[in-house]
Amino acid sequence: MAEKLHFELVSPEKLLMSTDVDMVVVPGVEGDFGVLINHAPVVSTLRTGILEVHNGDTPERLLVRGGFAEVNPEGLTVLAEEALPLADVDRATLEAELKDAEEDVADAKDDAHLAEATKVRNRLVEILGVLDLVA
């Protein structure tokens, strides 16, 4: 392929990726969509899911949670609140965290604690849900 798509993946803490790639599959709220070069401009919110970066033979897969994808003539920008290479995600650790989080929810003393604990738990449930689909 002669021309490549400029792809940027940014999290609030840093710019994670900025390269030219063949294709990216983005988990949009209304379904996954692939972005190649010269894609029409789109703005979409993301759901928790797997982002696939195709460059060469094996696609790189990342778990992303919360954020936006923007396609404009300059390329694709994904703003993700969290992004982790799928290979780095450890199911056992997450399940242990989830168990802790469930306990926190059960032990919450007041509304503020409850809201906080529920947020943590929901995040883990979402991520595990995605992992189930992948497995």
Q: Which is nearer to another protein, 23 or 27 (CB)?
A: 27
12 binds another protein (CB under 8 A): yes
CB 37 within 8 A of CB 20: no
Contacts of another protein in 32-71 (CB under 8 A): 40-45, 66-68, 70
Q: Which stretch binds another protein (CB under 8 A): 26-34, 57-65, 83-91, 100-108?
A: 26-34
Q: From CA 45, how far away is CA 30, in angstroms rounded?
A: 9
Total number of residues that touch another protein (CB under 8 A): 26
109 binds another protein (CB under 8 A): no
Long-range CB pairs of 59-63 (<8 Å, 24+ gap) are: 59/25, 60/85, 61/85, 61/86, 61/87, 62/9, 62/86, 63/89, 63/127, 63/130, 63/131
10 binds another protein (CB under 8 A): yes
Which residues of the shown chain bind another protein in the complex (CB under 8 A)? 8, 10-15, 28-30, 40-45, 66-68, 70, 72-74, 77, 79, 81
